[in-house]
Amino acid sequence: MAIKEEIIQLLNEINDPEIPILSVMDLGIVRDVKIDGEDLEVIITPTYSGCPAMEMIQTNIRKCLSEHGYKNHKLTIVLSPAWTTDWISEEGKNKLLSYGIAPPTPKQHTCKPALFHEQEAIQCPLCQSYNTRLISQFGSTPCKALYQCNDCLEPFDYFKCH
Amino acid sequence: MPVVNKKKDSPIQDPSSGFMEPFLLHLADNALILGHRNSEWTGHGPILEQDIAISNIALDLIGQARNFYQYAAKKINEYPDRVVNSKTVTEDSLAFLRDAWDFKNCLLVEQTNGDWAKTILRQFFFSLYQSFLFEGLQLSADKQVAAISEKAAKEVAYHLKWSSEWVIRLGDGTEESHNRMINAIDELSKFTEELFIPASYELEAAKHGVGIDLTLIQPRWKEKMEAVFEEATLPTQKLKEKLWQGLFGKEGRHTEQLGYILAEMQFMQRAYPDSEW
Ligand SMILES: [Zn+2]
């Protein structure tokens, strides 16, 4: 009999292939784990419509569950409610920072559509300076923006609000 | 994908509601074709950061296209008489095995990239349209259309901001960049009208609460467009210029540009049917 905590423990070990410091649980894409007798359903939601990592994440979840004896599992993808960076766990945000990626700020000013809008100061994950600037709203993966620190001059990724 | 229990979660069970298939394909085709066009910039962008930006936008659009194609395939497979040669319709067969006259995208998105100004302006016109479209479709009576739109709307907000800023940067930039924007307006403005002329399936979709009334978003589109143009020191009266003869992309009557895109995009599936990678 599957126990929910056991499944979540397994999912904690499955990482985002593009930001391997984060597990799928940290990322907040696992919406629910449903257990009904021998049947197991894991419900996930994609981060971005075209995120190429999603296919690999699904494969890895299936593989992991099968390897641990959960042959009777179902993986369901739901689009609504749409994923938001609010669902990244506190632990996930700390992991991002330790990995050199600025985590999404709690006040999500970057979602403001105003043109050439002054961005909220994003803290440099390396020297902790707030004196940074946006290089591009689009970074190396769909979920990141590119920033540069004006003090230590290091370019860095910002996990942008969504 | 697991086989979905037919009809169970489908709000539209009336077989007469034949507007769903073309309506979904129209939404998917728009996103796929513009996504493909944008992907032509990958590796050729003016600077690295903008190469990455336009490639990311391409990725978002192709993701939106996949969501709509997957849903369209599910709908089509619910009606066995629609399935040809007992082959199940898939997102791939819809993208790679239909011909130009089956595609229901707007003429705007199939136009060639031209220079950076033309690509930017095409994106701006379309993202602005999509922002109003998905705002409305989030409230669609069809739950899956609403869900896809809710997701897409968040992505489009970034596309719109990015392309608006570029329209202003180029329009209010140097004489050279300004003139290039003027040329882009000359080439593309005649394709904007079509966005707001509803095809029959859009009218039906709106009537059933699945789609939206396009005539309601046209003035909002125009107002926002003019505000950005004004800041970009670009003339807005140019846009009154009229249209194409007999063409209507939403009903499969395309400019010759679409054929070239499909020739490239569909080559592998046509030459090596059912190949996977
Ligand atoms: Zn720094």
Taking CA–CA distances from A136, the nearest residue in chain B reads B49
Q: Is the pLDDT of residue B242 over 50?
A: yes
Q: Are residues A115 and A56 in the same domain?
A: no
pLDDT at B9: 41
Chain position carrying tokens 């066009």: B37
Q: Are residues A35 and A11 in the same domain?
A: yes
Q: Which of A53, A83, A113 is the last residue of a domain?
A: A83
Q: What residues pack around ion ligand 1 (CB closer than 5 A)? A: A 124, 126-127, 129, 149, 151-152
Q: How many domains does chain A have?
A: 2
Q: Are residues A96 and A154 in the same domain?
A: yes
> For residues A150 and B254, what is the distance between their CA atoms, to the nearest angstrom?
49
Judge: A80–B62 Cβ closer than 8 Å, yes or no. Answer: no
- Report CA-CA distances (Å) from A8 to A2, A13, A32, A43, A47: 11, 9, 10, 12, 19
E strand or H helix that includes residue A73: strand A73-77
Q: Tell how far the Cα of B48 is from the centroid of ligand 1, in angstroms.
A: 22
Chain position carrying tokens 């995009």: B265
Partners of B276 on chain A (C-beta within 8 Å) are none
Q: Are residues A76 and A7 in the same domain?
A: yes
The predicted model scores a pTM of 0.88
Q: Is the pLDDT of residue B213 over 50?
A: yes
Q: Tell how far the Cα of A98 is from the centroid of ligand 1, in angstroms.
A: 14
Position B7 confidence tier, pLDDT thresholds 50, 70, 90: very low
In this predicted structure, which of A29-33, B30-34, B243-247 has the lowest mean pLDDT? Answer: B243-247
> For residues B150 and B34, what is the distance between their CA atoms, to the nearest angstrom?
20
Q: Shortest CB distance from B161 goes to which of A80, A81, A113?
A: A113
> Which residues are within 8 A (CB) of B206 and not within 5 positions of it... i.e. 6 or more apart?
B198, B212, B213, B214
What are the pLDDT digits (tens) for B127-151? 999 999 999 999 999 999 999 999 9
Q: Are residues A122 and A142 in the same domain?
A: yes
pLDDT at B10: 41
Partners of B51 on chain A (C-beta within 8 Å) are none
Q: Tell how far the Cα of B49 is from the centroid of ligand 1, in angstroms.
A: 20
Q: Are residues A46 and A105 in the same domain?
A: no
pLDDT at B84: 62
Paired sense of beta strands A39-44 and A30-36, if any: antiparallel
Q: Are residues A63 and A115 in the same domain?
A: no
Helices B143-171 and B214-231: crossing angle in degrees, nearest 10, is 20
ipTM above 0.85? no
Partners of A136 on chain B (C-beta within 8 Å) are 49-50, 52-53
What are the pLDDT digits (tens) for B161-177? 999 999 999 999 999 99
B52–chain A Cβ distance below 8 A for any pair: yes
Taking CA–CA distances from B165, the nearest residue in chain A reads A115
Q: Are residues A46 and A77 in the same domain?
A: yes
Write the DSSP symbol of residue A102: E
Q: Is the pLDDT of residue B99 over 70?
A: yes
Question: Do A69 and A10 contact (CB within 8 A), yes or no?
Answer: no
Q: Could you tell me if residue A89 is left (phi over 0), alpha (psi between -120 and 50 degrees) or otherwise beta?
A: beta
B228: tokens are 């950005």
Q: Which residue, among B99, B131, B89, B101, has the nearest Cα to B221 in the 3D structure?
A: B131
Q: Tell how far the Cα of A153 is from the centroid of ligand 1, in angstroms.
A: 6
Judge: B155–A48 Cβ closer than 8 Å, yes or no. Answer: yes
Chain position carrying tokens 């020297």: A127
Judge: B168–A140 Cβ closer than 8 Å, yes or no. Answer: no
Q: Are residues A34 and A101 in the same domain?
A: no
pLDDT at A107: 59
CA atoms within 13 A on the CB side of B194: 27
Is the Cα dihedral B153, B157, B159, B164 positive or negative? positive
Q: Which residue, among A20, A25, A22, has the nearest Cα to A4 in the 3D structure?
A: A25
Chain B interface mutation, best of A43, A76, A115, A147, highest count of B Cβ atoms under 10 Å = A115
Helices (H), chain B: 20-39, 48-77, 91-96, 107-110, 116-137, 143-171, 175-188, 200-207, 214-231, 257-271
Closest Cα of chain B to A61: distance in Å? 14
Enumerate the domain spans of chain B: 20-269
pLDDT at B82: 65
Q: Are residues A138 and A96 in the same domain?
A: yes
Q: Tell how far the Cα of B124 is from the centroid of ligand 1, in angstroms.
A: 34
Q: Which of A68, A83, A98 is the last residue of a domain?
A: A83
Q: What is the mean pLDDT of each run of 10 residues along chain A (162 residues)?
A: 85 92 94 90 91 90 92 91 91 93 71 65 90 89 90 92 79
Partners of A139 on chain B (C-beta within 8 Å) are 52, 56
pLDDT at B254: 96
Q: Is the pLDDT of residue B109 over 50?
A: yes
In this predicted structure, which of A142-156, B28-42, B103-117, B240-254 has the lowest mean pLDDT? Answer: B240-254
Q: Are residues A24 and A10 in the same domain?
A: yes
Cis peptide bond prior to A81, omega within 30° of 0: yes
Kindly report the CATH number that applies to the domain delimited by B20-269: 1.20.1260.10
Q: Are residues A66 and A105 in the same domain?
A: no
Highest mean pLDDT of the ranges B9-18, B54-63, B84-93: B54-63
CB atoms within 10 A of CB B56: 27
Q: Is the pLDDT of residue B226 over 80?
A: yes
- The predicted model gives B179-198 an average pLDDT of 94
DSSP reduced 3-state for A34: strand
pLDDT at A160: 84
Percent of chain B topping pLDDT 90? 83
Q: Which of A57, A83, A109 is the last residue of a domain?
A: A83
> For residues A75 and B2, what is the distance between their CA atoms, to the nearest angstrom?
8
Amino acid at A76: T
Full residue range of the structural domain in which residue A134 is found: 88-159
Judge: A146–B49 Cβ closer than 8 Å, yes or no. Answer: yes
